[in-house]
A and B are shown apart, each in its own frame.
Chain A
Amino acid sequence: MLRQCEGSQAVAEAIGLCRPQVICAYPITPQTHIVEGLGALVKSGALANCEYINVESEFAAMSVAIGASAAGARAYTATASQGILYMAEAVYNAGGLGLPIVMTVGNRSIGAPINIWNDHTDSMALRDAGWIQLFAEDNQEAVDLHIQAFRLGEELSLPVMVCMDGFILTHAYERVDIPTQEQVDQFLPPYEPRQVVDPDNPVTIGAMVGPEAFMEVRYLAHAKQLRALELIPELAAEFKQKFGRDSGGLIRSYRADDAETIVVGLGSVNGTIKDVVDEMRNEGIKIGGVSICSFRPFPTAALSTALGRAQRIITIEKSLSVGIGGNVSHNLRMALPDRNTTVYTVIAGLGGRPITRASLKKVFRSALDGLLEPVSFLDLNLPVVQRQLERERLERRTGPAAEAILRDLNTLPAAVH
């Protein structure tokens, strides 16, 4: 059914259709409206046969999900930002145990400085936790990816994060087609666990594993993710057949077939990238876009095919791997058959800084002209940074940097220095 609704609300309804049996909710650090929506569904009885547990922290949220999933229930939670870091140890644990928990990450930045707005630092921090990570481009895809996520996770016995941009998607009102219960039931069978804590067939789960077997257990997790590289496109195809629309898959190309320049991004920024691609195509520039939906497993082969002919690749990255630059470009180099392909890393949109068409176009042009640095920061106010570095050079007790930069921005006219 077509609805005009907030992304969080749409996801809440989609999760409800997936018949979760245990939902853990922690509200702050920060949460979206997803768990609120689900709380209402459970409390009103619209979502029956579901335990909704208000926990005392994100660490507890993931831990309750671990217990529930291990005991054979379909478990779900949502988090973002500081919250996912607070649960980090349990996130790894769920990955290591191979429990098919589904978690929404309403992507936001990580402090300090404290900031509640969108970027991808939170998911990226947990990219190696053994979870599948799927990034949604818009709210329709966010809805659809959650339905696919339960199926995918449960087939492989692996947890899945569905990442959707905080605010830009979670709080945006868009037209969304919410599927029917019959459709979802047809796609997603009841959860049949591969391992289960059951007094009638008692097993030990979570044993101490030493050097003699740890490598093998970890390799198995890797092998399962490689298996997901096959399963993700299969499920997307089946989804299309049953629901009538394209959602998910490993990657999606946009006007990239003959492109000499390809822009790669994750999540909602691909919408803006496509607009700029269209503008520049109209000017006769051979440019295209590739959206990475599955960041873990990383679709190396699919990207290799999609990017193979490009002379230059520009990654638009909403997270900074401090001290080196980009996570996406770093991974992406594994997919490039030609080592001479130029890869430009553009760090953009940190802490909610808008990524505008004008700025993207400028940076793409500068790449085409060979003027772009290998790692650059979109719309960085360099003079402000330089003034702070200068203050730190001149004086020992300069105080907190974030506050100094804010003071500079608010009080000093740009021309003073």
Chain B
Amino acid sequence: MEDRKENVARKLGRGFRATLEKIKNFFLSLPARIKQKLAGAKEILTQGNGKVAASMVVMGLGQLLYRQWAKGILYLLAQLAFLAYFILKGAGDLIGFFTLGTHESNAWYGVEGDNSVIMMLMGILAIIALIFYFVIYLANVKDAYKIQCAVDTMKSPASFKKELSSLLGKNFHKTALALPIIGVCVFSVLPIIFMILIAFTNYGGTVVPPALVDWVGFENFTKILTLGQFAPTFFRIFGWNILWAVLSTFINYFAGLGLALLLNRKCVKGKTFWRLFPILAYAVPGFITLIAFKFMFSYGGPINQMITDAGGTAVGFLDIDAKWTARFIGLGVNAWLNIPSGMLLATGILSNVNTDLYEAARVDGASPWKQFVRITLPYVLFATMPVLISQFIANFNNFGIFYFLRGGLYMDGYFLASDTDLLINWLYNMSIDNNYYSIGAAISIIIFAVTSVISLAVYVLSPSYKQEETYQ
């Protein structure tokens, strides 16, 4: 097995495991790291000389006093640039982040007041800029102290040219990551923080710009869990959402695996031809497939046409009474959309299984079922657990299925939702159809917490995590 080339899924598994390990190690080592950092800071504070102190007051001053001109000027410019930003905009944005505006716009009189949503965004940006500034400030102090240490030990401090060249050598990772980190902060971290913070405001309903938004603390979470209409709907949908995610992941995964096993058998002729059909289904855009299925199962669709032509009565597959029928159709349609990808994944993994294991099992008298349970399944599960978890999360947050198949219904006993809606559909109804953005954001945080906990728990309990050595 060692000689075989590792497939993509296993690599993914290892990457996921390694990431988890790193996260775990990070938190475990956090106290020691903090202690170490504090010791380092204490050393600089106690041992730093006047020139280091100068860098603490004005960035780059210490470096200039040590005749490190280029670095000193760059640090000084960084401080001046930050101060200019802070004076002209940053300080106001930071205050705006807390107030979310004090002047309301009035378009009739051309009064451009405060836009709370923009103020929140700019405030987050100011906080990120402040964090960046402190990172540079610390680097400046450390650098000044490093120069002092070098001078004290009669060594010549590294020249600017040398330090610059190290950015293309041993410190290349810093150069390479600088821009992407800024990009991630602006385009990824900023919107995520924004969405999380919206959950702590009253944004939505009648409070939309030009009206000013306010911070409301945990009020939205309290509403979700305590309001008469909310809590029962939340728990009903949540229960169905868990069931849906488990069932759909299970069906898609095992049907994909089954199909791959079937098409892997030697007795099957024209394998390429048969594999083409699921791939075709996979290639059609999902929402087109969903609209087509909705029509097929509608009262005017071909299925009911055939039923009525045969003398039967039309069946409401997706209508108001079709709670469980619609749920099963949803599972089936989701399987239609996702089994092909599962089949392709399993086909790739099965091609790497050591056939000697099956040979040995056959010699020992193991039945095909035993071979599947003891060899195929553990191997495939091990390799695909991270993919399985990502499928679970995708299914948990599967917006399209019931939006397209059975949208536009609010059922008795549900608040702004139907009995097939998932949390993500409820979130949509709430935030888009009814403008309750803050409540929608609060629900999305709950969804995030739930999917994270389940995913981590499933992974930690899975063979991919526990028994990695078995398959090495």
Are A and B interaction partners? no
A residues near B (Cβ < 8 Å) are none
